[in-house]
Structure 1
Amino acid sequence: MTRIIADISISLDGFVTGPDPGPDSGLGSGGGALHAWAFSDDPDDRRVLREATARSGAVVLGRRLFDVVDGPNGWDDNVGYGAGEAGKPAFVVVTSSPPEAVRLTGLDWTFVTTGLPDAVTAAREHAEAASSESGKDLDVVLMGGGATIGSALDAGLVDTLTLHLAPLVLGTGTPLFTGAAPRTLVQRGVIPTSTATHLTYDVLR
């Protein structure tokens, strides 16, 4: 069964970037430490990253995050989706208008201009097709940014929320939760490492 999984790294005070994020610094000032776990040699960190990347049948991201990963300082052949795993699922971008050109032409990009629910639907179709082809269940992953995941949670589109809680207090930046409607979560997994606490929740609708 294809699940919709929101997966993001977050600070102890609830921020998914540091202050002043932009195309040349997608995680903002000090925000790179949020993803230290993804480049860790800890075997549990490596397993979390490897298993999540392997289960990704399609990935949804917002336009601002696309501009970062497709920008000149973004992903390359060595570091991409899944950090060093550099996975290549289908990517679905929520945007008001598609870009004129794409740098990462070796990846499968779909640009959806009709809103987040339609983007999730398109990603589910990609993931289900990939599941049929591979013979194993694959998921849709909402990788960010924070506004995209927050909107998906508000809209009731998310089945599972995975947070990689970094031992870091940023003080300011991009918050994940912004006072939206309450959501009930059921804790399904906790994996502590030296660089993060990996938390998995089912989201009750």
Structure 2
Amino acid sequence: MTKVVADITISLDGFVTGPDAAPGNGLGTGGEPLHRWVFSDDPDDKRILAAATERSGAVVMGRNLFDVIDAPDGWSDELGYGATEVGKPPFVVVTSAAPSSVRLTGLDWTFVTTGLPDAVAAARSLAEAASASRGADLDAVLMGGGALIGSALAAGLVDTLVLHLSPIILGAGTPLFTGSAPRQLVQREVVATTTATHVTYDVG
């Protein structure tokens, strides 16, 4: 069964990037250590990254994140979705207007201009089609940024939340939760490694 999974790395004080995140500075000032776990040799980190990439039947991102990864110093053949895994599921971008050009033409892009719920619905449809084709349950994964995942949680669009807690306090940056309504989650799995604590929640 296809689920909508929000999956993101976060600092201990709740930021998904450092300050001044932008194309050319995707993780913000001082934010690079957030993703140390994705390049780790720890067997659990490697397993979690590979499993997350493999289960992605379609991926949703916001326009700011798209601009970061499609910039000249963004994703490449060596580093892309899933870091060195370089997965190639269909990608759905929530945006007010489609870009005039795309650098990463080898990837499957859909630009949705009618809002986040429509983008999530499109990704779920793509993931269900991929599941049927592959004969395995694949998910629609929300990879970010923080505002997109926060909005999706607030709108009740998320089934599962996966947080990779990086042992860093950034002090400022892009927050994941801003003015969210109270919500009780069900903790399903916790895996502690040398570089992060990976926590999976069912969203009620």
Residue 111 of structure 1 corresponds to 111
| 1:80-138, Cα deviation, whole Å (9 max, x unpaired) | 00000000000000000000000000000000000000000000110001001000000
TM-score w.r.t. the length of structure 2 is 0.99
Q: How far is the alpha carbon of 1:144 from its aligned partner?
A: 0.2
Does 2:183 match 1:149?
no
Give the counterpart letter for 2:141 in structure 1: V
**Count of matched residue pairs:** 204
Task: Report matched runs for 1:119-130 at 5 Å.
Answer: 119-130=119-130
Which residue number corresponds to residue 181 of structure 1?
181
Deviation of 1:50 (Å): 0.3
State the shift of 1:183 in Å. 1.3
Match of 1:170 in 2: 170
| Distance (whole Å) between structure 1 residues aligned to residue 95 and residue 32 of structure 2 | 25
Over aligned residue pairs, what C-alpha RMSD do you find?
A: 0.5
Q: Which one-letter code corresponds to 2:171 in the other structure?
A: G
AA paired with 2:119? A
User: % of aligned pairs identical?
Assistant: 73
Superposition pairs of residues 21-100 of structure 1, within 5 angstroms: 21-100=21-100
Secondary structure of the residue aligned to 1:140 is strand
Query: Aligned partners of 2:62, 2:32: CA distance in 1, in Å?
Result: 19
**CA–CA distance in structure 2, aligned partners of residues 77 and 20 of structure 1:** 26
1:192 aligns with 2:192: yes
| 4+ residue runs over 3 A deviation | none
Letter in 1 for 2:42: D
| Structure 1 position 179, deviation (Å) | 1.8
